[in-house]
Structure 1
Amino acid sequence: MAREVRAFAVTVLTLAALGAAAGLLWSGIAPRVPLQVTDQGTLLADPTTQALIAADGWFAVITGGLGLVCGGCAWLAGRRWMLGVLLGLCVGGTAASFLTQWAGSAFTIGSVTVEAAAAAPGAAIVPGALQLTARGVLVSWPLLAVGFFALLEGMHGYRESSLRQPYGGQL
């Protein structure tokens, strides 16, 4: 039982560390929304911008890809402690998604190019804060990690199963 708990803790902590690094990657890649500074406050500079959707898409690509990698690595490394590793993927993937969102929103990495087609001359255009608008993409990391882990275990279990050779291999 102690080894299962240790495998769970190591998996959660590893995925949490990856989540913070993924947040910095998301912050460096995802585009920012152009905001126009006016006397009334900050307004959306370009109403036709796709930056919000692109930021959500980059979040899903980064966390989903890491979920697949983590699920495969966990299956290879944690064959002896399946339950602890599987629960660690679920809890750690959820924590990693939230850490990715927090780190990506808190830090601004890289240079941000903001273009606004509807900008009035003399008004300042600034990049907006990176935010996640589609909250459903938060489940991409744990869902793909656990799903890929289960797929690999199912394929391995079928290969080792006696059901693969009906009638005991005799025809």
Structure 2
Amino acid sequence: MPYPTAPDPSGPGPSAPGHSEPGPELRAELVQAALVAIGVAVSGVLLGLVWLWLAPRIPLVWIGDGIYPKDAEGEQAMGADGVFTLWALAFGAVSAALVFLFFRRGGVALVVGLAIGGVLASVIAWRLGVWLGPEAGIEAHAKAVGKGVTFDAPLKLGAKGALLAWSFAAMAVHLGLTSLFGPRDEEPAQPAG
């Protein structure tokens, strides 16, 4: 009685070594993830403009021997970080909801696209806000406006962990939406017993 033999690994077939080409489904998923990452990253421009518009300004004044905050007890610096973080969380939640509504399913590639896009969007927003914000050269700006005149300090993000807020919110919301409304796997039929 002949025994069944294993397929020849050097012959054609899916088990041939060195021939691990991704299937069309994987390619489509990777393209979708790249599009999501690019779309989310570009929307960082909007976050940067919102941050620039809503972040509290730190008033400075040049008095004699130095430049000092006009309000010594002000919390504007923390307010700028808080505004950035809260809006990044909101943008992350909205981007995840839009991705879920558009694709109607989960997938590792989409979540990775959301995460990468969220970090890129946050960096774009941060740099854009700083670039468009008040002048960065404090001493030159103080000399230009003169002694005793109040001017705004440059916009800056002190808590760099805020750059991850968009990604965390996007991944959490997408996971929640997928678990609540995503397609379900069919349960195996129970044997009659």
Taking structure 2 as the reference length, the TM-score comes to 0.71
CA contact (8 A) 1:36 1:42 kept: yes
Deviation of 1:78 (Å)? 2.2
How many residues align? The count is 152
What secondary structure sits across from 1:52 in the alignment? helix
Distance in 1 separating the partners of 2:59 and 2:53: 16
Quick one: which of 35, 46, 57 aligns to 1:21? 46
Quick one: which of 177, 188, 191 aligns to 1:152? 177
Output aligned runs, 1:11-160, within 5 Å.
11-79=36-104, 82-108=107-133, 123-156=148-181, 160=184
Q: Which runs of 4+ in 1 moved over 4 A?
A: none
What secondary structure sits across from 1:130 in the alignment? coil
Deviation of 1:9 (Å)? 1.6
Identity %: 26
Greater mean alpha carbon deviation, residues 143-152 or residues 82-91:
82-91
What secondary structure sits across from 1:74 in the alignment? helix
CA contact (8 A) 2:44 2:122 kept: yes
RMSD over aligned CA atoms reads: 2.3
Distance in 2 separating the partners of 1:6 and 1:39: 59
Deviation of 1:81 (Å)? 7.0
Q: Which has the higher helix share?
A: 1
CA deviation vs aligned residue, 1:85-128 (integer Å, no higher than 9, x gap): 2111010001111111111111139xxxxxxxxxxxx6111111
CA contact (8 A) 1:3 1:81 kept: no
Distance in 1 separating the partners of 2:82 and 2:106: 34
Distance in 2 separating the partners of 1:16 and 1:73: 14
CA deviation vs aligned residue, 1:37-82 (integer Å, no higher than 9, x gap): 2343422222111111111111112111010001111112123672
Unaligned runs of 5+ in 2: 1-25, 135-146
Distance in 2 separating the partners of 1:18 and 1:39: 44
Looking at CA atoms only, which structure, 1 or 2, has the larger radius of gyration? Answer: 2
Distance in 2 separating the partners of 1:51 and 1:14: 31
Greater mean alpha carbon deviation, residues 87-96 or residues 71-80:
71-80
CA contact (8 A) 1:11 1:85 kept: yes
Unaligned runs of 5+ in 1: 110-121
Distance in 2 separating the partners of 1:7 and 1:141: 19
- Paired residue type of 1:8: A
Cα separation, partners in 2 of 1:71 and 1:63, compared to 1, 3 Å: same
